[in-house]
Structures are given as structure tokens and as C-alpha cells.
Amino acid sequence: MTELTSTTGMSSSELVEVAGITYRQLDYWTRHGHLEPIPGTDRRGHGYPRRYPTTEAPHAWLMGQLMTVGIRDLDLAADLARRLRHTNRADIELERRYTLRLTLTNGARR
């Protein structure tokens, strides 16, 4: 596999593999504004491969994990994934009585 840098980003197939999501999810989430390809690679249609900043991989992975555990609202999953990434905390209060808490595995945040 080629080395990924912030300037070249990653292809759709690389992002799908790294994030553990399907290409259909990636395409849908991109078209609805939850993931952002590198400007200039976001043209529509076949034959125009998108490239994504490497920073989108954790966001895509978190969205996929949140949806896997039962959060079916795409907007909510995307919002929670962004908040988890930007707060640098392992838990987020959703409402007064709900808290989303991530568990640590092998010392790494999941």
C-alpha cells in the first residue's frame, strides 16, 4: 500500500478499507455532506475518483461504529462523531439522562 500523506489523501477504496464501511455508505455520506473529499476531486459521475483527507478516516470509522451500535439517525451519528473527535473526551452527554461513553482498548481510544 502506498504511504498516505495529508497532501495526497486517500482514495475511496482506501478509506472504505480503513474505516470498515461500505462504498455505498461512503458515497451516501459524502453526497449528504457528512464527509468531505479533497477539493477538486469531488466531481460527480463515473470516472472522477474522489480522494479524501486522511483526517476523514476517523470520522468515517466513528460514524460507522455509532450506526452499528444502533444510532440509525445519520445526522445524529455524524454530529456525535464530530463532537467526539473535537472534544478529545471519551464521553459526551447527549441529553440530561444519556451519556455516550467510548471504551478504551489496548490503550487506544476507540
Would you state the pLDDT for residue 109?
Answer: 46
Does residue 5 belong to any structural domain of this protein? no
97: domain range?
A: 10-109
Domain total for the chain? 1
DSSP-assigned letter for residue 96: T
Would you state the pLDDT for residue 1?
Answer: 42
* pLDDT average, residue stretch 41-47: 69
Return mean pLDDT, the chain: 79
pTM summary value: 0.71
Does residue 42 belong to any structural domain of this protein? yes
Does residue 87 belong to any structural domain of this protein? yes
Q: What are phi and psi of 73, to 5 degrees?
A: -80, 110
Does residue 2 belong to any structural domain of this protein? no
Does the structure show a pLDDT above 70 at 37? yes
Provide the CATH number for the domain around residue 89.
Answer: 1.10.1660.10
Per-residue cell: 71? 444510532
Helices and strands counted in the chain (H then E): 4, 6
Over residues 79-101, the pLDDT tens digits come to 888 877 777 666 666 665 666 66
Does residue 3 belong to any structural domain of this protein? no
Tell me how far CA of residue 71 lies from CA of 40, 74, 78, in angstroms.
32, 8, 10
